[in-house]
């Protein structure tokens, strides 16, 4: 007998998790030959769009903890996709290398194709609603009551 999920179909979290799984699987498949994790690709793209940004600025922009950014940046530097430059006596800035810029451009091209595969399934008004609603949900945790206070 098949497992029925009709009660789950009305749950926002269930629907978002299922949709995210499909989107991420296609994203990974689309960029699989880059031999990079999604967080590494995202980090590269943020640095490419924000030359001379700091590691902490990148982490904050994409919601990755500082400790988790260290190995991501190290791998990008090791692959000669990103370089660090000293800005002043203490600060280091990140910038993509020529190789990193080429890879970022190709990633953006493929991501546009990936996005189109899913955006084209939605009516323009529905797409606008989704793109308006998701940032609201991303910040909902800021307003939530901590688990230990419930």
Number of CB atoms found within 10 A of residue 93's CB: 18
For 15-45, give the DSSP string: HHHHHHHHHHHHHHHHTGGG---HHHHHHHH
Q: What dihedral do alpha carbons 147, 38, 65, 91 form, nearest 10°?
A: -160
C-alpha–C-alpha distance, residues 67 and 71, integer Å: 8
Evaluate the CA torsion angle 11, 15, 18, 24 in order and state its sign: negative
Domain ranges (residues) in the chain: 37-123
Query: Phi and psi of 86, rounded to 5°?
Result: -80, 130
Tell me which DSSP letter residue 123 carries. -
- The alpha carbon dihedral of 75, 81, 85, 87 has a sign of negative
Q: Mind listing the pLDDT tens digit of every residue in the chain (150 residues)? A: 566 668 888 899 999 999 999 999 999 999 999 999 999 999 999 999 999 999 999 999 999 998 999 999 999 999 999 999 988 878 899 999 999 999 999 999 999 999 999 999 999 999 999 999 999 998 876 655 444 444
Structurally, at CATH architecture level, domain 37-123 sits in Orthogonal Bundle (1.10)
Please name which of 14, 22, 32 lies closest in space to residue 107, comparing C-alpha atoms.
Answer: 32
DSSP 4: P
């Amino acid at each position: 007998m098949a497992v029925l999920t009709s009660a789950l179909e009305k749950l926002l979290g269930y629907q978002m998790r299922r949709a995210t799984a499909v989107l991420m699987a296609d994203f990974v498949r689309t960029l699989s030959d880059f031999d990079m994790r999604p967080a590494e690709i995202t980090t590269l793209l943020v640095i490419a769009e924000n030359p001379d940004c700091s590691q902490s600025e990148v982490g904050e922009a994409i919601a990755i903890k500082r400790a988790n950014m260290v190995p991501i940046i190290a791998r990008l530097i090791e692959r000669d996709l990103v370089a660090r430059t000293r800005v002043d006596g203490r600060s280091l800035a990140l910038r993509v290398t020529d190789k990193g810029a080429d890879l970022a451009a190709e990633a953006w091209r493929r991501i546009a194709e990936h996005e189109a595969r899913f955006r084209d399934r939605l009516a323009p008004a529905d797409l606008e609603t989704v793109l308006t609603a998701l940032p609201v949900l991303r910040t909902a945790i800021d307003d939530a009551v901590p688990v230990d206070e419930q």
